[in-house]
Amino acid sequence: MQPPRLEISNIVKDFGGRRVVDDVDLTVMPGQVTCLLGPSGCGKSTTLRIIAGVESQDSGTINVDGKLVCNGAMSLPPEQRNIGLMFQDFALFPHLTVAQNVSFGLAGRKVTDRVHELLGKVGMASHIDDYPHQLSGGEQQRVALARALAPRPRIMLMDEPFSGLDDRLRDDIRDETLAVLKSEGTAVLLVTHEPGEAMRMADEIALMRDGKIVQRGAPYNIYNAPVDIQAAAFFSDINVIRGKVEGALTDTPFGQFLAPGVPDGTDVDIVIRPQHLKIEFDRAGRGPSPTPVEGTAARGVVERARFMGASSLVEFRMDFDGSILKAVVPSVFLPKPGMPLWLMIRRDRCFVFAKE
Ligand SMILES: Nc1ncnc2c1ncn2[C@@H]1O[C@H](COP(=O)(O)OP(=O)(O)OP(=O)(O)O)[C@@H](O)[C@H]1O
Ligand SMILES: [Mg+2]
């Protein structure tokens, strides 16, 4: 089996006595996109800068293709690491043409072929003699990608590379970039604080918080099996229903939930995303009958309903304790405030977390 393209182990970095990167392990396989995802200030860029070699770690090792790049004792300079970089404030050389930007730093006979190949891949072949100021933001981004890929880096490090682009353009450029990176077989470590971007781009997401990787996995797994309530909340709005465990079960106004392995008397949070609540009509003060899949219905009154295009976001004030629960429903449904409705919770879509 081939070794990971990139493998970092036990990376630690302090700034002014504060631990900013705290024992981080990451691996990226060839042709794979790993997203380092986390809130602002959690240490993503610092981790990337250490891998690139423009910042040094306090301890820990980095291997590329199974070969040591740096540890406490030695460190290859950035230019010998065979790593491509693309940052948000990527700057093309303003006085060079598109072709000259892409070929900058390349040597050898095949340079022209490589430049044409890459500009073809990023859809910029017709702009080969243009200067950067003649290009739109998205076009400049494409050229920057071609330039970063030109020397055939083993690994591409990308730090929020799409954040300067407007929404519609960003989706297209993300998809195009992904296609080009896959066709080149490059291993990619992409930093972002946007869960949507990570889910769209990543084969694997590494969720980072306060300098630590708190969870790693495929987007589907991270979204559907978060390790804790913060991990759940990072990906969408959440609803929280409180309960206390008795005999591995917790009783709530929505019926009983399983809490396997949680000791009696423990307070738990039952977490459910707004799109996994089901709404039923009120029939003369009565709700639907309980089912094994959706439990017991609880009544609430519509506090606010917002039309959001493909869906509606409906906020309910619940009869049982006056708390607010949010449901996302198809936008054909837009109830008026004050309307009583019943909510049910999809058992298979809720997460039960013991309180610390
Ligand atoms: N050179 C430095 N000296 C001192 N503190 C630093 C330095 N570089 C980063 N930090 C601090 O380390 C923490 C992590 O910074 P980092 O840039 O890695 O965060 P980030 O996850 O990339 O955030 P963002 O999403 O906002 O870019 C921040 O609190 C930052 O202020
Ligand atoms: Mg950053």
227-276 pLDDT, tens digit per residue, is 999 999 999 999 999 999 999 899 999 999 988 889 999 999 999 999 99
The per-residue pLDDT for range 263-319, each reduced to its tens digit, is 999 999 999 999 999 999 998 889 899 988 888 999 999 999 999 999 999 999 999
CATH code of the domain covering residue 276: 2.40.50.140
95 within domain boundaries: no
- 101 Rama class: left (phi>0) / alpha (psi -120 to 50) / beta: alpha
* Residue 60 belongs to some domain of the structure: yes
How far is 300 from 324, CA to CA, in rounded Å?
9
Q: Which of 233, 256, 280 is the last residue of a domain?
A: 233
Q: Give the β-pairing of 204-209 and 33-37.
A: parallel
Neighbours of ion ligand 2 (CB under 5 A): 45
Whether residues 343 and 247 fall in one domain: yes
pLDDT in tens, 140-185: 988 998 998 898 899 999 999 888 777 878 888 888 888 888 888 8
In tens, the pLDDT along 47-75 reads 999 999 999 999 999 999 999 999 978 99
Six token digits for residue 118: 């890459």
Q: Which ligand is nearest to the CA of 38?
A: 1
What is the C-alpha to C-alpha distance for residues 67 and 76, in angstroms, rounded to an integer? 11
CA of 41 to the centre of ligand 2 (A): 7
Which of 224, 192, 168, 213 is closest to 348 using CA atoms?
Answer: 224
Q: Which domain holds residue 10?
A: 6-82+153-233
Pocket lining: 43 vs ligand 1, CB cutoff 6 Å: yes
Domain assignment present for 323: yes
Give the rounded percent of residues in the chain with a pLDDT score beyond 90. Answer: 73
Q: What is the whole-number distance in angstroms between the Cα of residue 69 and the centre of ligand 2?
A: 23
Separation of CA 50 and ligand 1 centre (Å): 12
Please give the model's pTM, rounded to 2 decimal places: 0.90
Pairing of strands 155-159, 187-192: parallel
Same structural domain, 257 and 170: no
How many distinct structural domains can be found in the chain? 2
Based on the domain organization, do 165 and 282 belong to the same domain? no
Residue 269 sits in the same domain as residue 297:
yes
What's the CA angle centered on 326, arms 232 and 277, to 5 degrees? 80
CB atoms within 10 A of CB 298: 21
Atom of ligand 1 nearest to the CA of 44: 21
In this structure, which residue's CA is closest to atom 24 in ligand 1?
A: 40
Closest to 263 measured CA to CA, from 343, 354, 193: 354
pLDDT at residue 246, as a whole number: 93
Residue 298 dihedral angles phi and psi, to the nearest 5° = -125, 145
CA gap 60, 11 in Å, rounded: 4
